[in-house]
Amino acid sequence: MRRSPPQRLADYLPIAFPAGMLGLFFVIPFGIMVAISVFKRVQGGFYEPSFTLANYARFLTPFFGEVLSFSLGLAALVSALCLLIGVPFTYMLTRLGRRAQVFWLIALLGVLSLSEVIIGFAWSTLLSRTAGLSNLFVWLGLMEKPEAWAPGLGAVLTGLVYQAFPYTVLVLYPAFSRLDPSLMEAARTLGCSPRRAFLNVVLPVMRKTLLATFIIVFIFALGAYLLPQILGRPQHWTLSVLVTDQAIYQSNMPFAAAMAVFLVIASLLLVGLSVLISGRKGIGEQ
């Protein structure tokens, strides 16, 4: 069993099914979506085949511009916050004993599997006036009367950070696990305090990983479609929310498709950028 190029027709068999399934059920739907984005919208929730760039032209409206810049800014902020908390967290996690790591991994995986709906519901409750945390603070004497912190930008941020945090940690985990502990030790023997060693040695070494993770979490945050709706007001709606809205409630498939195509191109560009930066051959081949 030696690694060699496929020679007989039968050698190609294993990849036939995956390629076929992905081609049929991912590439083609994607292609159809791109096609729809240039169709003409017909009242009543349908569209007819045509070729018009009208849907893309709507990108040039100030409204769209606002939504776009808000979405990008929000995603960047969420990613930055996740990294700010997640990087020291993951680093310390990987220095813990095996059992502690298993515990935390299970906890993080559990939280990761929570659907956006549940997260939205839970945080909207936590930040509400009647049942939320502010009641606790009043009881503790830190506040005078309970407040509603949702809906609002802070609520959206909190929900998004909550959703993206486990993802951030799990993406950082392999790299930090494999970080050579002797780097920190060498720095310490050279006179650095642990904090300085972390900032001056570990972070620069992990630079590529951090950048790549930032981009991955950025795209993840960009994809949030429910939390901005549940925890925010219409001015907090992101691009993904708009796509859902247009596709389902406004029955404007072509415009939704156009925005989706835009999102895809942006995401792919960013993924390509992160692959270039981290110089990885592929996930799992470090």
Partner 1 sequence: MSKAAGRLFFACVALFLALPVIVVAGVALNAKKTLAFPPQGLSADWYLSVLTDPAWRSALTNSVMVALAASTISVAIALPLSWFLWRRVAPWARLVQMIGFSPFVLPPVITALGALSFWATTGFYGQVWTVVISHGIFFVSLPLVTITLGFATIDREIIEAGMTMGADDKTLMKTVIFPLIRPFVISGFAFAFVLSLNEYIVAYMTVGFTLETIPIKVFNALRYGYTPTMAAVSVFFVLIAVLVFGTVARFGDLPKLMGAWSKGE
Q: Is the peptide bond before 151 cis (omega within 30 degrees of 0)?
A: yes
Binding residue (CB under 8 A) for partner 1 from 42, 56, 76, 101: 101
Residue count, binding to partner 1 (CB under 8 A): 90
> Should residue 184 be labelled a site residue for partner 1 when binding is judged by CB under 8 A?
no
Nearest to 156 by CA among 73, 213, 270: 73
Segment near partner 1 (CB under 8 A), from 54-62, 140-148, 206-214, 257-265? 257-265
CB of 285 to partner 1, least distance (A): 6
Q: Per CB under 8 A, does 219 bind partner 1?
A: yes
Contact call for residue 118 and partner 1 (CB under 8 A) = yes
What would the two tokens of residue 82 be? 């996740």
- Binding-site member from 248, 269, 273, 276 for partner 1 (CB under 8 A): 248
Sites for partner 1 among residues 133-162 (CB under 8 A): 162
Binding residue (CB under 8 A) for partner 1 from 143, 257, 269, 273: 257
Shortest distance, CB of residue 111 to partner 1, whole angstroms? 5
Tell me the closest approach of the beta carbon of residue 165 to partner 1, in angstroms.
7
Cα separation, 216 vs 132, in Å, equals 32
With CB under 8 A as the contact rule, which of the stretches 58-66, 130-138, 145-153, 181-189 interacts with partner 1? 130-138
114 binds partner 1 (CB under 8 A): yes
Element at 179 (helix H, strand E): none
CB-nearer residue toward partner 1: 4 or 43: 4
> 88 burial class (0-12, 13-18, 19+ CB within 10 angstroms)?
middle
Interface region with partner 1, contact rule CB under 8 A, candidates 59-67, 143-151, 184-192, 239-247: 239-247
Q: Rounded to 10 degrees, what is the CA torsion of 268, 274, 280, 281?
A: 10
Q: Which of 110, 183, 185, 200 binds partner 1 (CB under 8 A)?
A: 110
Write out the two tokens for 225: 């479609």
Of 61-100, which residues contact partner 1 (CB under 8 A)?
85, 88-89, 92, 94, 98
**DSSP per residue, 109-178:** HHHHTS-HHHHHHHHHHHTSTTTSHHHHHHHHTS-SS-----SSHHHHHHHHHHHHHHHHHHHHHHHHHT
Inter-axis angle of helices 253-278 and 28-37, to 10 degrees?
A: 120
In the bound state with partner 1, the residue whose beta carbon lies nearer, of 57 and 106, is 106
By beta-carbon proximity to partner 1, the closer residue of 186 and 248 is: 248
Contacts made by residues 73-76, CB under 8 angstroms, sequence distance 24+ = 74/156, 74/157, 74/160, 74/221, 74/228, 74/236, 74/238, 75/218, 75/219, 75/221, 75/222, 75/238, 76/218
Shortest reach from residue 277's CB to partner 1, in Å: 15
